[in-house]
Structure 1
């Protein structure tokens, strides 16, 4: 009993405090009632939705479910909180709604069966547009009015989604991939009856791989301007499309990297989000005189921003060293959760490495007390997506490794966003293998520079990063001492047949067809193909309800490891594609670090 008592009185390590520290998302505000806001927080130990009456200074928890809730939106009048109810993280369910001030949860669209979500736009006077995805029907879109049966206005086998609903509730903007390229959407604007109003398609029948994205209708009654993003100049940037007039208005925003935007509340200006080389910043673009004015933010990453009706800009900021906070451009913290604060970590270093497809950007962190000139055990923490990127932002996972004496390297391989369209689109057909070429180039730099001990290199990642981990362990068996794969693709053919419909469409785009149509491409890109070559100890964690990287294909891979007596451990947990429960996440990190240290001989 004495040992148990001593353990309970030990101080909590900083890495664990970072996971437990209360966090909040950027609050979303109701368009017609801006003092009513909705945000996500882990204050109870599980990520849930919270309503915030800013005028009254009151907050209350909206949802309370064992595996958490993060998908929610306010109605424009602020009277209702819509939230998506699935089963233990399987992402298949129904939209529910609850009065802003509290009350019973009721189905938001009683006539609709459960589905995967494919976009939602909540309008005024009980109007909503709901996108749904199922294996049987592909994508459908329904208009829902209180007291009436849902009306279907769109259906297609390929992936699509609801982009936005105009302020007056007469026009619906849809993103669709009817041309068969799930990575590059076209935009269609229809009436509430589904009649075509306008179409914008930069793919030209698939001849050019250019995508469009809906950013939002102008927040002004009777205004048919739609803010969209395009890739015509090799990067994401905004343009205004007047749907009624069929006219586009170019914006003179001369900034490198990707540019996004949202409307100021009166429609006279745009709040510009600028992402370049793993960092973000904000600008105001005046539509009257076309002036571009910088909004001062600290160096790091802005992961969300909004311009409130009085013109005040609020944003969610962090850096690799400093934990996130919701700030005001006028100064100060907007929403400060109660409880302990997350301890700081170490800054990130930028490294550029020449690779087979061009310069590769890597983000490197090393312990502050690392001995000079001595190579370190090093974790290559590979991001998911693949259309995502690591940034100079706070992450409790990498910080935990640093606290345990490891260097951490994160690679924005080909396929990552933020480095131009060609970089993002480069991984088609040789899926996984291209990314691993870039990771190998950065690994060679890490060893030759003296940062990494080649005998103590860990390949680690979740989702697509977990897939690349397993694929890397089999195709680069001499390069890695340990592999840690969370919610991975492990057997690509089985994964394709079991995954949710929207991901099937993405895989057909990446590979150029189904496993039956292009079997060789799936074979050479599947970790299962190389499982017998794996020599490093492998740790795999998987959610049993995961619709993205389903459990059956993980079991196929694990069974092959077991059949040949390979060193491995498997952890299965009752959730989907990751967990929203803080204790569960801490448990997973503890298991990963323990596995690595046992097999690297550090314990």
Structure 2
């Protein structure tokens, strides 16, 4: 057993793992260090001013970019990084969420776009978890907050006025959007108690009700809605929403003032989301299908989709897209083999990262495997040479998320060390329809492991994977599934590597942030006291005595999502048994935004696997 503890300077350390001085930096490290850029967000009333995220200094921070002059300025500089930020519609202010070393509990601060001192953005609001933010063009702002003692609140602050609370409820809720003329506010809420499926309420800025749209009752029980934005035109009260009425995410336009609503028929096979073009004449549609995505422009004739025109993107994944006022589209694209780049539909590169481009990696192979709940989609990458290979099952978090054909440095690092990499979009993943996403409820963890086991069997039977050298690995929900899988399926896995996991589900529930408590009550049908057997069946600590594989665990000391106490409970049980394990604790939240820390953690994970795999 090895216990790694945090250093005094705030970053975890372990002398045995410090990198030796080398003359050639390996490709897997270069992929982490290569500067990355997010899709720039532009100010709605000053589109020449933009905000983006980059790791150019070695830590992910916010940057201001003036497109007219070409100047870029680092706006935030904190030891553990900053990624939660936005730009005001007039382009005058950069807003960023100031938490404490990744604990996600804090307040909004702001600074002038051109630079200057930071200040509290909305005076009078105590620290809380963020529940969304929306700006009006007249300077009005709606701020969503969540705290353990109150639940969800929303405050409206008009220029020169103190913030006024206009919404409060124990269940989770968040700010959706403000109308273009700042008269209406859309709120996503789960007052019905189902945190997986939101209803939408539109109110005036004094909190009085305009209209409610709820797909969680009656014939549409357990269907969700998502706010995508008000029409960008003064006096136009139409609201674009995502809905699940036909088994997948599709679009509808709802006018809460008149009550009119129309589903937008879109002949695309996958799930869709969208945003308005700047003049309201059409929608920019993001189409997600079988772990890849593409872009389309949909012209609008009133509330009816007219002609669909594809916006050309290479095969792979679009991680974000936005329609500029001139009608062009900017998007962030990558594939598993090719690093991300920010491009325009005009063919131009929007923004070049400073410094080296990340080395390419290996393309993915699509695999469909028969599972107990239907066909399971997996993405497979093979290293050089002949199999069977040592294989890492890199399990995604969420669970409402999915792996895609997109660039990621950590899987590429395993490939460079001779591992095949398998990523499974198990039941619970998004992107494959509502039924697939909702299938895990009440048997959470166990459902996903059935699908992962089916893909494992295929990998072994086809000669891809060596059954004696299988690593189960993941972060967050993937870390949870790793620890659960090591106990529920001990004969299937040789080594386990879990980052920021849920390990003791009951203790995690009592310590985690409020929004996740609501989600867990939905997933498991109630609190641990109301549904003790379900919680026991889905908790990794229930099966800790069955674990035979060596276990590596990393944990953030300030993590509000997978808190440290419940991980220590699991580790204590491993210690009592004398089980082979290592634990690494670091001074951050739910993962690190520091590049060298990410490299260090990846190195330690791979070294642990190589140390304990036969051969």
Give the distance between the partners of 1:252 and 1:35, measured in 2 at CA.
34
- Which string of whole-angstrom CA distances, capped at 9 and with x for unpartnered residues, describes residues 469-503 of structure 1? 00000000010000000000000000000000000
Query: Number of residues paired by the alignment?
Result: 596
Aligned match of 1:34: 47
Give the distance between the partners of 2:365 and 2:414, measured in 1 at CA.
16
Counterparts of residues 116-265 of structure 1 (less than 5 Å) = 116-204=129-217, 208-265=221-278
Query: Which ranges of 4 or more aligned residues in structure 1 deviate by more than 4 Å?
Result: none
Give the distance between the partners of 1:113 and 1:599, measured in 2 at CA.
48
- Which string of whole-angstrom CA distances, capped at 9 and with x for unpartnered residues, describes residues 147-169 of structure 1? 32210000000000000001111
- Which string of whole-angstrom CA distances, capped at 9 and with x for unpartnered residues, describes residues 443-483 of structure 1? 00000010000000000000000000000000000100000
Give the distance between the partners of 1:192 and 1:182, measured in 2 at CA.
25
The one of 375, 380, 388 equivalent to 1:364 is 380
The answer to whether the 8 A contact 2:468-2:614 is kept is no
Deviation for aligned residue 1:601: 4.0
The answer to whether the 8 A contact 1:16-1:586 is kept is yes
Deviation for aligned residue 1:210: 0.2
Aligned match of 1:3: none
Aligned match of 2:493: 480
Deviation for aligned residue 1:376: 0.3
Give the distance between the partners of 1:553 and 1:203, measured in 2 at CA.
33
Aligned match of 1:353: 369
Unaligned runs of 5+ in 2: 1-18
Deviation for aligned residue 1:145: 2.3
Counterparts of residues 165-564 of structure 1 (less than 5 Å) = 165-204=178-217, 208-288=221-301, 290-367=306-383, 369-371=384-386, 374-564=387-577
Give the distance between the partners of 2:491 and 2:538, measured in 1 at CA.
19
Return closer, same or farther for 1:9/1:553 CA change in 2, 3 Å cut-off: closer
Give the distance between the partners of 2:614 and 2:378, measured in 1 at CA.
27
The answer to whether the 8 A contact 1:541-1:570 is kept is yes
Aligned match of 2:587: 574
Let me know the Cα RMSD of the aligned residues: 1.3
Give the distance between the partners of 1:576 and 1:9, measured in 2 at CA.
31
The answer to whether the 8 A contact 1:179-1:206 is kept is no
Give the distance between the partners of 1:424 and 1:313, measured in 2 at CA.
30
Aligned match of 2:6: none
Helix, strand or coil: the match of 2:105? coil
Give the distance between the partners of 1:388 and 1:226, measured in 2 at CA.
25
- Which string of whole-angstrom CA distances, capped at 9 and with x for unpartnered residues, describes residues 525-563 of structure 1? 000000000000000000000000000000000000000
Helix, strand or coil: the match of 2:122? coil
Helix, strand or coil: the match of 1:399? helix
TM-score, structure 1 length as denominator? 0.98
- Which string of whole-angstrom CA distances, capped at 9 and with x for unpartnered residues, describes residues 272-293 of structure 1? 0000000000000000371111
Return closer, same or farther for 1:502/1:379 CA change in 2, 3 Å cut-off: same
The answer to whether the 8 A contact 2:88-2:95 is kept is yes
Deviation for aligned residue 1:8: 3.0
Aligned match of 1:98: 111
The answer to whether the 8 A contact 1:179-1:205 is kept is no
Deviation for aligned residue 1:124: 2.7
Aligned match of 2:15: none
- Which string of whole-angstrom CA distances, capped at 9 and with x for unpartnered residues, describes residues 74-119 of structure 1? 1110000110000000000000011000001000111000000001
Return closer, same or farther for 1:206/1:84 CA change in 2, 3 Å cut-off: farther
Which protein has greater RCO, CA pairs closer than 8 Å, 6+ apart?
2
- Which string of whole-angstrom CA distances, capped at 9 and with x for unpartnered residues, describes residues 119-160 of structure 1? 100223331000000000000000012332210000000000
Helix, strand or coil: the match of 1:478? helix
Give the distance between the partners of 1:68 and 1:205, measured in 2 at CA.
45
